[in-house]
Amino acid sequence: MRDNPWKRAQAQLHSAASHLKLPGALVERLENPDRMLEVSVPVEMDDGRTETFHGYRVQHNNIRGPYKGGIRYHPKVDMDEVKALAFWMTVKNAVVDVPFGGAKGGITVDPKKLSEGELERLTRSFTQEIAPAIGPKLDVPAPDVNTNPKIMQWIREEYSKIAGKDTPAVVTGKPIEHGGSEGRVEATGLGGFYVLAQVLNLSGRKGRGLSVAIQGFGNVGSHLAECLKDAGFRIVAVSDSKGGLYVPKGIKDLKAVAQCKERSGKLAGCYCVGSVCDLSNMETLGGRDISPEEVLTLPADIVAPAALENAITKENASAIEASIVLEMANGPTTREADKILNARHVLVIPDVLANSGGVAVSYFEWHQNMHGDVWKKEEVFAKLKEKMDAASRAVYDASKEYNVPLRDAAYIVALKRLSLQ
Ligand code: NAD
């Protein structure tokens, strides 16, 4: 049975709150989203039919600032998932200390089955439905699974039409030439790398040479892989929804692998030597094909789930060989799995810290749009590092102070900040 992410979010809230003397009213407020919007999204399809999709926007909490969170296009999107994701945004934004509350949105759709025109009309129709509830000082969407800068720009254009003036700050993750921030595309993966480096440093471990297996090779997984490889980590496995590759000696040319996936539509078989990527190189590289799930239980020092929720469950948690789990996806570990990993002393770096680099740079983008500024990439990355280092230290210190795993510690940091508002 699928672990209900909203129930898990509630349990995480109560577990952390039990360590603090918080006002009852605060906990009660966080137990319920401020506003839940469920909309019908009619779309004219290429064949002339009108199909109606279901869309959601959940505004969990705005104690610390405007609601903020991504929009997901996926066939499994439902209200409980969006509620949990919105709650995790409230926590994440407090952990990384940006002046935003938490929100999330989504449409139940398989975008891979839509043409470009249908995708655009879907996005514009959804924007019309949620327009009264969003705005630069009210609620600022961003990309998530299966959404990207182009989709963010469609939202900005549609919202601006309705608002009667161009409003770039209504959404983040836009293309750079349309007011997006330098560094936003890499931000979540790079932020995860900064967090990992800081946690390794604080716990007296070395990073260079450690092997890493990554589940999910989209925006987050592919950029994380690049950053880690550049820093001397060995990327031994990558996977997408169809499968992946395991190369124990380490995947040398990640860019060629990414291009191969782009061309062929899947990672499996992307064994690259020079510009040639195919199965004929598998033996030379000493690699083999793997399933999307197998990537998590391969021999590796670090495993990074960077795909969807519920990847690590009570069924596979005991088989994880890595001593560190870097949660780049939102909610990749179920409650039962979390307990198993903790009992086995696997260090779990929680999602609300590990993947908060995305929203940190989203905040930078929003800030630049609001003030008419344009920051250089180096400046963005320096500010991102500062944010991620500070958040990592705060969470690590709280884990020592309260003698709790990093996940509880992150929630404790967030709850304390939320209670100060
Ligand atoms: P994406 O759509 O760019 O990529 C998702 C990847 O996961 C794809 O490679 C897909 O093939 C793969 N995938 C899907 N199902 C899988 C499965 N069962 N097994 C293995 N791989 C699978 O999405 P993204 O933006 O990279 O987001 C990935 C995760 O990171 C999500 O949980 C998202 O909420 C979270 N996240 C994203 C951002 C961001 O800035 N994009 C920020 C914070 C958190």
Q: Which residue has the CA at smallest separation from atom 29 of ligand 1?
A: 329
The length of the chain is 421
- Of ligand 1's listed atoms, the one at least distance from the Cα of 184 is 40
Q: What are the extents of the domains in the chain? A: 33-182, 186-354
Per the annotation, does 291 bind a ligand? no
Comparing CA positions, the residue from 172, 82, 167, 127 lying closest to residue 360 is: 172
pLDDT for 274 equals 85
Contact 81, 3 (CB under 8 A): no
pLDDT (tens digit per residue) in 88-133: 999 999 999 999 999 999 999 999 999 999 999 999 999 999 999 9
- Of ligand 1's listed atoms, the one at least distance from the Cα of 146 is 2
Pocket mutation for ligand 1, best pick of 144, 254, 260, 365 (most atoms within 8 Å of C-beta) = 144
CA distances from 154 to 123, 239, 337, 341, 410 (A): 7, 30, 39, 42, 34
Ligand 1: centre distance to CA 25 (Å): 35
Ligand 1: centre distance to CA 216 (Å): 6
Is 175 strand, coil or helix?
coil
What fold is seen in the domain 186-354? Answer: Rossmann fold (3.40.50)
| DSSP state string for 366-419 | HHHHHHT----HHHHHHHHHHHHHHHHHHHHHHHHHHT--HHHHHHHHHHHHHH
pLDDT (tens digit per residue) in 299-335: 999 999 999 989 999 999 999 999 999 999 999 999 9
Find the helix or strand (DSSP H, E) in which 80 lies: helix 79-95
Ligand 1: centre distance to CA 308 (Å): 6
Please report how many Cα atoms fall inside a 13 Å half-sphere around the Cα of residue 409, on the Cβ side: 21
Query: Phi, psi at residue 202, to the nearest 5°?
Result: -65, -30
Per the annotation, does 362 bind a ligand? yes
Please give the model's pTM, rounded to 2 decimal places: 0.94
Do the domains 186-354 and 33-182 match in fold?
yes
pLDDT for 2 equals 65
Q: Which residue has the CA at smallest separation from atom 5 of ligand 1?
A: 218
- DSSP tally for the chain: helices H, then strands E: 14, 14
pLDDT for 206 equals 85
Q: Which residues of the chain have pLDDT under 50?
A: none
Pocket mutation for ligand 1, best pick of 95, 220, 222, 315 (most atoms within 8 Å of C-beta) = 220
User: What is the rounded distance in angstroms from the CA atom of residue 93 to the CA atom of residue 346?
Assistant: 25
What angle (nearest 5°) sits at the alpha carbon of residue 369, between those of residues 358 and 365?
Answer: 10
Q: Which residue has the CA at smallest separation from atom 15 of ligand 1?
A: 241
Q: Which residue has the CA at smallest separation from atom 14 of ligand 1?
A: 241
User: Which CATH code fits 33-182?
Assistant: 3.40.50.10860
Return the residue matching tokens 């987050």.
220
Ligand 1: centre distance to CA 307 (Å): 4
**Catalytic residue annotation:** 104
What lines the ligand 1 site, CB under 6 Å? 143-146, 188, 215-221, 239-241, 292, 306-308, 328-330, 355, 358
